[in-house]
Amino acid sequence: METDKLSELEYAAWQGFLLAHDRIWRAIEAGLAPLNVSMAEYGVLALLGEAGRKGMRMSDLAQRSLMTSGGFTRLADRLERRGLIERRRSADDGRGFEAVLTREGKALLRKAWRQQYGDLRTLFFDRLTDEDLRNLTEVWTRLDPEAGTEHAEGSS
């Protein structure tokens, strides 16, 4: 059975992406480890940090964190047991729940942000020019399945 193969350029681009992602992810994960924060936990804490004092609906948080509902519930339970988040009834409709950072959660998030931003600068941003970053931003936009095909058609 014959299959289409990737060209050398396609293979190099794909492998480069995978290897760079893996190396950067592992380094950031290692930087957060002394804070006792996994990447999934950091992602949820960061979303809540961006949401501010009002917090975020649990359903929106689960969707934005790209986790299954069961996996997200277990993660939220762990964060709540550690005193990093608090769940409360939604002020909007009283049916759903919202999560907010506790004082301890905010303090941990500030440390995690400092660590991650320093790592991102060293591992990624300091190695790229502004033009590189603009080009990458354009590429990520074109690869976004939500963006449609208008970008891909114009680049052939």
pLDDT in tens, 86-108: 998 887 777 788 899 999 999 99
Q: Average pLDDT, whole number, for the chain?
A: 89
Fold of 33-145: Arc Repressor Mutant, subunit A (1.10.10)
156: confidence class by pLDDT, cuts 50, 70, 90? very low
pTM, full prediction: 0.79
pLDDT grade for 69, boundaries at 50, 70 and 90: confident
Q: Is 55 left (phi over 0), alpha (psi -120 to 50) or beta?
A: left
Domain residue spans of the chain: 33-145
